[in-house]
Amino acid sequence: MAFSDRILGKKNLNGGPRIEMVDPSLALPGGELRISGSGLRPPELQRPKVQFGEFEAPIVVSSDAFLVARVPEGAISGPVVVATNGHVSNPHTVKVAVPIAENLHPVTSPALDPEGNIYVTFSGSRGQKVPVAIFKIDTNYNVKPFVTEMMNATAIAFDREGQMYVSSRFDGAVYRVTPNGAVSTYAEGMGVATGIAFDHEQSLYVGDRNGTIFKIARDQQVFVFATLEVSVSAYHLAFGPQGDLFVTGPNNRVYKVDPNGTVSTFYKGLGRPQGLAFDVDGNLYVAASLSGTRGIVKIAPNGLANLEVAGQGLVGLAFAPGRSVILATTSSVHHLPWNIQGLPLWPE
């Protein structure tokens, strides 16, 4: 009999633990959740037990009114309960992301082709030649090598026709990759090429780790589109619904670059913001830390921020069909059902 089943019959309605809120209610294993309520710590400063089904969660901080627990490895979506002195709280549902590929090394967001296949890099350290640079994860979550001959594959983007482009921070180039994995050079001289994204006119934008953002027109002419502050890396790029380019790098800001190349600060106060994506309502989601907790941070158009998914090591995300999201950490890729519609890359 499950731990929660054994003690649910002992629920204490007179002063036992009670959960009022779990924030956030979506997480990866290892993510930290704040559980708020009352009676959450037993007398004599003993630690409570937090259960995700059969799995007991490590507790980071505990008090009578709140505690912080880390989602245990092996936990799946379902109720979480707090137990003190044999009494159990009311359950709250937490959705836990499911791992679909491990032993990878993405350094930014995964990418999806028009058929819903997922592509993710094994980027390696600077100058490291790895056996497989890009893996393809099909819609049944089968993982297969896709590109082998590329150094430090960094960011992936698809154009309107479903053609893949990949940046390399090793040689400052952007490569075009055919559906069978054949690689050809698309553009060179991009410095330490990192983030890439297409605008609605199908020009490709490339971020340089030294802060320059290049624009590559469809005729492959290259222009300097914008320059961020000195030493600010343009590592991750995404276009918003109004045609503005949003950029993050290893500082605490999200930058907005308008179509004329004018740079402004959109949000300040994140810890190491990385990959980013928009939903259809114009909310921006960033892999970052907020108030010391790592996960996916939602930033509304009015600038209000909230941690939506808790997870250690997150570097990026991509919205997928069926109102779900693909989450990338420094070593793995996860799938999470999420009732959010991602912003389509190209309008119908």
Report the CATH number that the domain containing residue 253 is assigned in CATH.
Answer: 2.120.10.30
Long-range pairs for 6-13: beta carbons < 8 A, 24 or more residues apart: 7/83, 7/86, 7/87, 7/88, 8/81, 8/88, 10/86, 10/87, 10/88, 11/87, 11/88, 11/89, 11/90, 12/87, 12/88
| Of 253, 220, 259, 219, residue with least CA distance to 239 | 259
**Cβ atoms of 113 and 346 closer than 8 Å:** no
Report the CATH number that the domain containing residue 84 is assigned in CATH.
Answer: 2.60.40.10
Answer yes or no: do 116 and 82 share one domain.
no
The pLDDT value recorded for residue 4 is: 42
Residue that terminates a domain, selected from 96, 112, 130: 96
What does residue 187 show for φ and ψ, rounded to 5 degrees?
A: -155, 150
The pLDDT value recorded for residue 1 is: 41
The Cα 124–Cα 152 span in angstroms is 6
Answer yes or no: do 182 and 291 share one domain.
yes
Count CB-CB contacts under 10 A for residue 283: 19
| Of 172, 240, 251, 158, residue with least CA distance to 212 | 172
Count CB-CB contacts under 10 A for residue 198: 20
Residue that terminates a domain, selected from 96, 130, 163: 96
Answer yes or no: do 173 and 241 share one domain.
yes
Answer yes or no: do 132 and 151 share one domain.
yes
The C-alpha angle 101, 270, 190, rounded to 5 degrees, equals 70
Answer yes or no: do 67 and 104 share one domain.
no
Answer yes or no: do 103 and 201 share one domain.
yes
* DSSP category for residue 5: H
Tens-digit pLDDT string for the chain (348 aa)? 444 444 443 444 446 899 999 999 999 999 999 999 999 988 766 789 999 999 999 999 999 999 999 999 999 999 999 998 888 999 999 999 999 999 999 999 999 999 999 999 998 878 788 899 999 999 999 999 999 989 999 999 999 999 999 999 999 999 999 999 999 999 998 888 899 999 999 999 999 888 899 999 999 999 999 998 765 677 899 999 999 999 997 788 999 999 999 999 999 999 999 999 999 999 999 999 999 999 999 999 999 999 999 999 999 999 998 899 999 999 999 999 999 999 987 655
Count CB-CB contacts under 10 A for residue 139: 12
The Cα 146–Cα 134 span in angstroms is 5
- At a CB cut-off of 8 Å and minimum separation 6, what does 232 contact? 211, 249, 251, 255
The pLDDT value recorded for residue 188 is: 92
Answer yes or no: do 326 and 203 share one domain.
yes
The pLDDT value recorded for residue 344 is: 87
The pLDDT value recorded for residue 347 is: 59
Q: What is the pTM of this model?
A: 0.92
For 12, the domain range is: 3-96
Domains held by the chain: number: 2
The Cα 155–Cα 150 span in angstroms is 12
Answer yes or no: do 119 and 9 share one domain.
no
Is 344 contained in some domain? Answer: no
Alpha-carbon 128 to chain mean position: 24
Residue that terminates a domain, selected from 80, 96, 112: 96
Answer yes or no: do 10 and 153 share one domain.
no
Answer yes or no: do 82 and 113 share one domain.
no
